[in-house]
Amino acid sequence: MKTRPFGTTGIRVSEIGLGSWQLGKSASWPEGPDRDEAVRLVHSALDAGVTLLDTAPGYADGHSELNIGAALRGKRRDDVVICTKFGHLTDGTSDWAASSIESAVLRSAERMGTDYIDIVALHNPPEEVMDGNQSEHYDVLEGLKARGLIRAYGASIDSSADVDLVLQTSQSQALEVRMSALYQETWPAIERAKARGAGTIIKVPLESGWLSGRYAADSTFAGVRSRWSRDDIALRAELVEQFRSLLPVGVSVAHGALRFLLAHDGVSSLIPGARSVELLENSIAAAAEPLPAATVTAIRDFYAHRLEGAPLTW
């Protein structure tokens, strides 16, 4: 597993990280792993060279951080980069008060059995929180960094406008940004983040499973993914087939999607979710080879002609 610098923070992260939204059973993911399975999944990731673990207090109804803590017992803490978030609580409610940041970070650290957290991101915050000219949140995070409780901070966000707002109104050096082959709206903003010295983690890199190659026009969905109408499903299925046609022979949709994102030199790491060791290993294998430059250009052109004026909603 190759590593990349996380901006100019001095942190290095594996090209493929472990997205831990599904790291435990929850109301929205009842088929998630139990504690023992979650620990095995994290250990498999670490054994394969994954160093970045991305989580949040509310992931898996609060079990994700606890399961990471169980998996890291007895492991060298400095071999792992932990990213967690602030804003959404374990019970599904939210608390955006700047005065709550320190206690929230300390609770996350306690759940994971560590005395510091590498990266803390405001978790899709409201604009008035995201805007450092209006809020005190970044000042609090800077104070935690000065005390050694965190190493870097920033925000988990979804659009170029969000990226620019965070960069222009704070000293953030850590961004978690939505981007995929079917959602490239943030591509140029990540270039600007790199120029500012920020590290960037790409979330939803497989477009909520569509770029895993598992879904088609006749797929049906329950839970959080029931948000898609039949028209949405038909559109996404069509786009996936168009994307597939651009890939070299023998390259799967999932590998092509992840390799495309790794071709962006402003990207530090990708965090595809993995609910099994098999899915984890498949994502890790994607980083073994690059995508040809001509294919990267073709995917950029495909997006520009097909989706740039009407990017997919989440």
pLDDT tens, residue by residue, 154-182: 999 999 999 999 999 999 999 999 999 99
Residue 3 pLDDT class (50, 70, 90 cuts) = very high
b (16+ CB within 10 A) / e for 129-162:
bbbbeebebbebbeebbeeebbbbbbbbbbebeb
Residue 188 pLDDT class (50, 70, 90 cuts) = very high
**Does the structure show a pLDDT above 90 at 307?**
yes
Looking at the chain, the whole-number percentage of residues with pLDDT higher than 70 is: 100
Residue 207 pLDDT class (50, 70, 90 cuts) = very high
Which residues neighbour 218 within 8 Å (Cβ) at sequence distance 6 or greater?
none
Residue 312 pLDDT class (50, 70, 90 cuts) = confident
**Which pLDDT does position 169 carry in this prediction?**
98
Residues 107-135: tens digit of each pLDDT? 999 999 999 999 999 999 999 999 999 99
Least confident of 180-184, 221-225, 262-266: 221-225
Residue 90 pLDDT class (50, 70, 90 cuts) = confident
Please give the angle made by the CA atoms of 305, 308 and 314, to the nearest 5 degrees: 130
Q: What is the mean pLDDT of residues 39-49?
A: 95
Q: Which domains does the chain have, with CATH numbers?
A: 3-208+254-289 (3.20.20.100)
**Does the structure show a pLDDT above 80 at 221?**
yes
**Does the structure show a pLDDT above 90 at 277?**
no
pTM listed for this prediction = 0.95
b (16+ CB within 10 A) / e for 4-35:
bebbebebbbbbbbbbbbbbbbbeebeebbee
**Does the structure show a pLDDT above 80 at 299?**
yes
- Please give the mean pLDDT across all residues of the chain: 94
Contact predicate 293/216, CB 8 Å: no
